[in-house]
Amino acid sequence: MTVAVWDAVVIGAGVTGLSAAVAMQRQGLQVMVLEAGPTVGGVVQSEWLDTSAGPVLVEWGPHTVQGSAKALLTLAEEHYLQPQAAHESAKFRYIWKNNRLVAVPMSPWEAVTTPLLSVGAKLRLLREPFIAPAKTDSSVAEWVTRRLGPDVLENLLGPFLSGVYAGDPAQMSARATLKTLTGFEQEAGSVIAGAFSAIQQKKREKKKAKKLEIVAGNEKKLSPLTLYNFEDGMHAFPNALANALPEGLLHFNASVHGIEIDESCGYRVVTATHTWRTKTVVCTAPAHATEALLNGLPSDSTIQAQQALAAIPYAPMAVVHTLVPLSLFGSLSPNMVAPVGGFGCLIPRSSGLSILGNLWPHSLFPKRVPEGMALLTCFVGGATHPIVAQWPLEYTEQVVLQDLQALFHLPKPIDPVHIVSRLWPYAIPQYTTGSDGGHLARAAALEAFQAQQPGLFLGGNYLGGVALNDCVRQGQRLAQCVEEYCAQPARVAQPVA
């Protein structure tokens, strides 16, 4: 298809960019997607490995989404992708404490009895409703310590935050990262009171929805607490979105060098070999890549926007997959439902181990791993351990093998059947505090910039949430902005044969 002026050029074919492109395409807009790399998905990459034990499917990025990830799962089903539920053992999750794996509490009673918190820490929680709400933003570490106590930070929230954000609680912004919890604090005056009333509200909504369902006939539903992936791995999702775009509208190895103003149509998007004229630009490249693309834009707030983008740090992360015989674990780990059975474990930073967490994909999705084998997927690095970006991968693998030996109390070093690794130097953006006002101020500067630069829309996981479902929602919201912009009479596209 040849178009003189596109309605939108999308920069980046990660989940945010593709979700935007597919939504715009559906609205009948003329969309072109430019991707710097050779494939779609950004950090969402899956790979079948040939190993001496047989084929193994590994994930280099996200492993699962929850059933509550409605935007993503609905979009997947609309593109004929059936979500595959993880094995029910996925509900068993562990945190490493005092040299052993302790189950994460999954019910109020388990929360009362969990050894993850001392009696003192549990009693400390009773004081939470009486602590005055914070007036300003602070670091996650300060906020959690003040409201919930240091034990909750060290043994519950800290490991969880390294697992999801690869973040350092001492640097993360509480209001930008813990939106729900800080929202409870501000609205209900207490996290516990806010959580309690949210649970009650959810129960009422569930009851109402059930009644409606009975009237409307039984719709197939995904359980919100179950974890899902797709038959060929998570990459099947961006792949399905890309396949929904008409041929020729997605260009690979098309790194965008700049965005320029075009007086007649809006913008020019420049790659090494081509210049694309367009009414709008949807830029979903990571913050550090986006910063350079704005150089040619004249708006008063361009420099502030570039400073805001440059101030968003990214944590590096290495992903290491180790395939070992399940028999290695024998009768070890007696505190677990089965040897390395469950979702996996998170490791508090005080443990002295380098790994942030260890997932057990053979237990989650048994068909992806040869029978009798365990696939241990470790994450190393994050904001608390950025040195990993400078380590050769062979060294990172050795560190992981040592950590696994310590984690499972194995008598001798692991001799893996297969081990592979990959480093993401810019894995996950960090919503940090800072003297510039932190992430909330950076996001506000980017909003102000977009208001002064009509037709240019910024998105990606550095704004609006790092979870895949957040990225889908954000992509769809960007599409809506473009649609509204293009609907204004003076801005109708001019497709040419």
Ligand X SMILES: Cc1cc2nc3c(=O)[nH]c(=O)nc-3n(C[C@H](O)[C@H](O)[C@H](O)COP(=O)(O)OP(=O)(O)OC[C@H]3O[C@@H](n4cnc5c(N)ncnc54)[C@H](O)[C@@H]3O)c2cc1C
Interface positions with ligand X (CB under 6 A) = 11-17, 34-37, 42-44, 61-65, 255-256, 284-286, 289, 317, 319, 424, 427-428, 460-461, 466-468, 471
CB of 202 closer than 8 Å to CB of 224: no
Which residues lie across from 237 on neighbouring strands? none
Nearer to ligand X, 85 or 111 (CB): 85
CA distance 59 to 46: 4
Please state, as a whole number, how many other Cβ atoms lie within 10 Å of the Cβ of residue 217: 6
* Alpha-carbon dihedral 238, 241, 243, 246, rounded to 10 degrees: -140
Return the closest-CA partner of residue 340 out of 301, 378, 300. Answer: 378
C-beta of 266: minimal distance to ligand X in Å? 18
- Rank residues 333 and 384 by Cβ distance to ligand X and give the closer one: 384
List the helix and strand counts (H, then E) for the chain: 17, 19
Residue 99: CB minimum distance to ligand X, A: 27
Please, which residue, 196 or 252, has the CB nearer to ligand X?
Answer: 252
Helix H segments across 149-234?
A: 150-152, 158-165, 174-177, 179-188, 191-216
The nearer residue to ligand X, 43 or 191, going by C-beta atoms, is 43
Residue nearer to ligand X on the CB measure, 118 or 255: 255
Nearer to ligand X, 128 or 232 (CB): 232
Please say whether the beta carbons of 468 and 262 come within 8 A.
no
User: In angstroms, what is the minimal distance from the CB of 60 to ligand X?
Assistant: 7
Residue 316 Cβ, how far from ligand X at the closest point, in Å?
10
CB of 397 to ligand X, least distance (A): 16
Helix 15-26 / helix 468-487 crossing angle, nearest 10 deg = 40
Rg (alpha carbons) of the chain, rounded to whole number: 24
Query: Rounded to the nearest whole angstrom, what is the least distance from the CB of residue 132 to ligand X in the complex?
Result: 34
Minimum distance of ligand X from residue 338's CB (angstroms) = 22
| Nearest residue to ligand X on Cβ basis | 42
* DSSP strand pairing (6-11 vs 31-34): parallel
Residues near 447 by Cβ (< 8 Å), separated by ≥ 6? none
Closer of 13 and 57 to ligand X (Cβ): 13
